[in-house]
Structure formats: structure tokens, C-alpha cells
Chain A
Amino acid sequence: MADSAPTLVDGGPRPGGAPAPARPGGPARPARRGRRTPPGPTAPPRSFVWTRRILLTLLAVFAAVPLYAMLSSSLKPLEDVTGAFHWFPSELTFRPYIDIWRTVPLGHYFLNSLIVAASATVCSVVIAVFAGYAVSRYRFRGRRLFTVTVLSTQMFPGILFLLPLFLLYVNLGNATGIALYGSRGALILTYLTFTLPLSIWMLAGYFDSIPRDLDEAAQVDGCGALGALFRVLVPAAAPGIVAVAVYAFMTAWGEVLFASVMTNDATRTLSIGLQGYSTQTQVYWNQVMAASLVVSVPVVAGFLLLQRYLVAGLTAGSVK
């Protein structure tokens, strides 16, 4: 097919130019929705290809350099990291990866973070599914009030209710005899609520995009409302649910402010625990990097594995 690039000046097709050469050729894959694949094996114009190469290379460098520095610094001896920066370690050492477990109880913090983030995620998703279902499938009084209120909590400055929330937990604890203060439970409760507004909103949107006939049919077939929700809607909304879960997990995994006041030695999470590598004596930069990598790898891996769902889940939901 005609390589149209010469006829293009900086991207703008010439008026009256040859018809239709400019459509980029999506390679062979059968065109799904959203693949801009025109009929026929057209190649994108050269200007586009070069722009793409250059810009994506720049972006890749921007994204990758800090990641690389993290990795290379984690393989350097402490002498190296505290001196002038070098791209490559003067000597390769895996010591930091051994030392990190001794300088701070990293395994313990990791477990705490995992428990907190996972519990918060599960609860947040379940509660958001219920609420999202209500908002999507029912017209009821107060619906608008509910959505607006819940969404506006998204903009509360954390610092405004940090101390009150802490006090509330202590008093709830005193009143009920359940020790909330300093427990993982308090943190779970906090994080799960942080993520609720956006989760509800996204899920409601996702449910909206699923034809009503589906669950109404199920209800006619004798499922109750909950039956319809779990048998029909939840499976159909799987991508949206995954997206919400990932969002909730990551929020809980990285939060710093509330964790710093609400945890103690036994329940400290990673985001606070990692600060332990900066001690009164010095900052163990190589260990900081090594530990950061170790705690990031599972999260990043999970995120990348699930990104396919994310892409589907994010849009269908919040954006129609």
C-alpha cells in the first residue's frame, strides 16, 4: 500500500491528497472494539512512527531511570551509595538483601501490610458491591444525597480527621472493650472506608453499563435481588470489581499518615517500617532500596497481571 508519509507535512494530511492512506495498520489481530484497524494492511505514516518512537523512548527513560537506580543502588555496598553517584556498582553485592531482614523486622511489617491491605480490600469490595448495586438498580429517596455525600468525603483533608478518628477509636474501644487503638482492625477500618467512595462510584457505573434485562430476568426466574446480584451482576462486573480491588489494595499498601499514628511496634506497616532504615547513625540507602524493591515486587507483579481487567474495569464503570 502507498506509504503516504511523503505527502504528509508534520502530520496534517494534505487537503485533496490521496484518499485514505493515513490509517495506521493495526497488525493482523482481528479488530476488536477500539482497535483502530482499518481494512487492509496499512502502515502508519512515517511521521507518526517516528513521533511515536521518540516520545515513547523519552517516556520510557523517564519511567525506567528511577527504577534502574533503585535496583543498582540495592546491589551496591554502603560505601558506594553514600558517595558520588555511579550508574554501575563498583562491586556487586547481595548483602543488602540479607541485611534488610536484620536492620528492621521487615518480614513482620510485610505480614502486617499484607493482612491490613488484603482485609481492607476484601471488605471494601464487598461493601461497595452492595452499595453500588443499590445505587445502580434502585431509585430511592436519598439516593442523590447518598452519592453526593459519599463522594464529597473523598475530598476531606486527611489531616482534619486524623486526630478525631484516633480519639474515636480509643473511645469506641473503651466503650466496647475491643481494643481498636493500635490494632490492625483500626487500620483496616480506616483504609477500607477511604476507598469506599470511589469504589462505590466506579461499581455503580459499571453495573449501569450492564443491561438491566439480565438481572431482571434472573429475578423473574426466582432469584431474589441478592441472587441476581451474585449470580448475574457480580460475574458480569468482574473487571470492574478487580479494578476496585486493585485500587483499594494499593491505597492501603502505601498510606503513610494514618499508619504513623495508629500503629505500634506489633502492627506497624511497611510504609512506616521502611523508615527504620534511616537510623540515628546513618541512612542505609542500599538497604532502603533493596527493601523497597522486595516489598514492591509482589504488588507490581499483581498489578501488572491484573492490568488487563483494570483497563476494562476502569472505563466501563466510571466512564460511559
Chain B
Amino acid sequence: MSTRTERIRRAGMPYLLLVPALVLELIVHIAPMVTGIVMAFKDLTQEYIRNWGSAPWAGLGNFRIAVDFDAPVGEALLRSFGITCAFTVLAVGLAWLLGVTAAILMQDAFRGRAALRALFLTPYALPVYAAVITWSFLLQREGGLVNHVLHDQLGLVDEPPFWLVGDNSFLALVVVSVWRTWPFAFLMLTAALQNIPRDVYEASALDGAGIWRQIRHVTLPALRPVNMVLLLVLFLWTFNDFNVPFVLFGKSAPESADLISLHIYQSSFATWDFGAGSAMSVLLLLFLLVVTACYLLLTRERSRPRGR
């Protein structure tokens, strides 16, 4: 084989390997998304869904309405955005906190550790629908387990609170989301802990560090790179999550738990205004891109030293 053909083969190989992934990405992600972006500039209401090529161009009209924060549509979007941010921060933060706690506490073997780990991982392994519908059952005001415990058994509240409507629904959403995602954090962090070389601990033990200090000075710093990745992944999943609020609340979420994904769904499907819905999605996408880009720039060097 001549070196030249060899060179070409070698140069062409990576592209060949990437073709299937590229084609799929193009069909399933990129092209529909570009179409979605185009839709955002159209006045795509029910009149045109059957042949939306003929829908009139709306220019920036859809965007203008979406960001007119003095009018109800924009105001609702802004509020929904704020709720989503608060929800994401809380849910991701708690999921991480529980995950890291459990991972560190279970680093050493003890009796029943394997069983406990299996229990912890189960919520994550449950299909979303099954898990969330169970929670919606538990969170009913009458006949739900949560109020049975809080009100009937512990007497912590005078009157059984609502969890699926009104202000508490935000809390309910956070709890359900954390319940489902913290095992993932736990899993990732457990994995990361196993990669910390043992001699680091030995060295610090020789220096006289107690276990708590080791956790602070050895374990947590060693988890840094995993945390970078973990938090980003959790952030994106949680921020865009549609399944959990949809199953928990149905098509119209209570105001206090009106996550952006469901809000956009309602703005496009329930009111048949796909132009407006797309415009909101585009704004959301821009936001996520900016956040992710910043995050990656800030953490790039540390999280992923790549390539040789």
C-alpha cells in the first residue's frame, strides 16, 4: 500500500466513522430545529397549520410579544423563566448535595451497603411516568400519603395543604425532581470516588488528618472535575425537563410551578399558536447556549484536558 493512499485513508477515516452520527443529527436534531427557528418568524396559527408554508411572515413579531414584559404574555413568560431558574438551581443543588452526601458516606464498606445502594438507585431506574404518577398519587390533598403523614400522623399542619395546585406545587415539583435525579448524582460521584488514588488518603492520614478533614481537603477537591460535568448535565436535563411537570400536573401547570417547557407547550399546542411557541423556544435555546458556553469557557481547562 502506498503511503499516499494510506494517508488519504487515514484522513478520510474519521469522517467515515462520523457519517452515521452526522446524518442522524442532521435529520433528527438540526433540520427540525432550523425549521423550528423558521417557524418562530411566522404567524403560524391554526389557520395555517395545514399548510404552514403559506403562513405570513411575522418578522420579529412573535419575539416582540414574547419579550414585552409589561403585557401578560411576556410577563407570564418572564415569570415562568424565573420559576424555571429557581427550580433548576434548587433541584440540581439538592440532587448534588444528596448525591455527594450519600456517596461519601458510603465510600467505605459496611454491612448492607450493597442493598442500600440498590435502594438509592431504584428511583432513577424507574420509568419517568411510573415514578411521577406515583408521586402525584402521594401528593393528593385528600387520600395522599404526604398529607396523611404531615397532618393526620404528625399533626405538623392544622389543615392539609395542597401540593398539586397553588404555591406549594413548586415545592412538590422540586421534591419529585430531586427524588428522581439525585441517584444519578450519587452514581456519578460514587464512581468518581473510586478513582481517587488511595495513597492520597494515606498521605493525609499520616499528616494527621481526621476523616472530616479528609473529606474537606481530599475528597471534595478530588471531585471537582466530576462536579463540573455532573452539574452541567443535571442543569440541562432539569432546565429542559418536560416529562416530570407534564405527568405531575397535566397540561396546565399551576402558576407557581409553571416550568418553561410546559409553558411553551401550552403556548403552542393548547392555544394552537406555533409561531409564538417557537419564538419562546428560540429564546430559551439562546439562553441555554449562552449559559453553557460561559460555563464551558470557565471550566474548560480543568474539566476536560483533551487530545494529545
Contact = CB atoms under 8 A, between A and B. Distances in A.
A and B touch in the complex (CB under 8 A): yes
A168 B105 contact: no
A110 to B, nearest CB: 11
A21 to B, nearest CB: 8
Interface string B243-275: 100110000000000001100110010000010
Interface residues of B, number: 114
Given A66-B134, A250-B125, A56 B116 contact: yes
B289 A152 contact: yes
A319 B226 CA distance: 6
A130 B201 contact: no
A160 B243 contact: no
A152 B179 CA distance: 26
B156 interface: no
Nearest to B284: A157
A134 B13 contact: yes
Contact of B24 (A138, A192, A296): A192
Contacts of A63: 119-120, 122-123, 179, 183
B198 A131 contact: no
Interface string B12-28: 01110110111011011
Nearest to A57: B116
B121 A155 contact: no
Contact of B225 (A24, A146, A319): A319
Interface residues of A, number: 125
Interface stretch (A82-90, A97-105, A230-238): A82-90
Interface in B216-249: 225-226, 229, 233, 236, 239-240, 242-243, 246-247
Contacts, number: 355
A190 interface: yes
A193 B28 contact: yes
A75 interface: no
B196 interface: yes
A22 to B, nearest CB: 3
Interface string A5-40: 000100111000101111111110101111111110
B107 A36 contact: yes
Interface string A55-85: 1100110111111011001000000011111
Contacts of A24: 108, 211
B89 interface: no
Given A159-B281, A320-B225, A64 B119 contact: yes
Interface string B39-79: 10000000000000000000000000000000000000000
Contact of B188 (A8, A38, A315): A315
A111 interface: no
Given A134-B14, A315-B192, A48 B28 contact: no
Nearest to B281: A160
B129 A168 contact: no
B33 A164 contact: yes
Given A66-B134, A159-B265, A163-B274, A271 B236 contact: no
Contact of A11 (B125, B210, B308): B210
Contacts of B194: 32-35, 311-312, 315
B133 A288 contact: yes
A223 interface: no
Given A140-B15, A208-B306, A200 B21 contact: yes
A271 B28 contact: no
Interface string B93-108: 0000010011001111
Contact of A150 (B21, B126, B202, B236): B21
Given A56-B106, A164-B33, A296 B191 contact: no
Interface string A237-261: 0000000000000100111110000
A168 B119 contact: no
A152 B40 CA distance: 20
A300 interface: yes
A13 B209 contact: yes
A36 B134 contact: no
Contact of B134 (A131, A205, A292, A303): A292
A299 interface: yes
A315 B190 CA distance: 9
A275 B247 CA distance: 9
B25 A292 contact: no
Contacts of B128: 254-256, 271
Most buried by A among B119, B191, B281: B191
Interface of B: 11, 13-15, 17-18, 20-22, 24-25, 27-33, 35-37, 39, 98, 101-102, 105-110, 116-131, 133-135, 137-138, 142-145, 147-148, 152, 179, 183, 187-188, 190-198, 201-202, 205-206, 208-214, 225-226, 229, 233, 236, 239-240, 242-243, 246-247, 260-261, 264-265, 268, 274, 277-278, 281-282, 284-285, 288-289, 292, 304-308
28 contacts: A12-B210, A13-B208, A13-B209, A17-B210, A22-B209, A34-B195, A34-B198, A52-B105, A63-B119, A63-B179, A66-B134, A130-B17, A134-B18, A140-B11, A156-B29, A157-B240, A157-B260, A158-B240, A159-B268, A160-B36, A160-B278, A161-B36, A163-B268, A193-B28, A257-B246, A257-B265, A270-B129, A300-B122
Given A26-B109, A39-B202, 18 more contacts: A12-B210, A13-B208, A35-B107, A59-B98, A63-B122, A66-B145, A69-B145, A85-B147, A85-B148, A130-B18, A134-B13, A154-B236, A155-B289, A159-B268, A163-B268, A299-B126, A300-B125, A304-B121
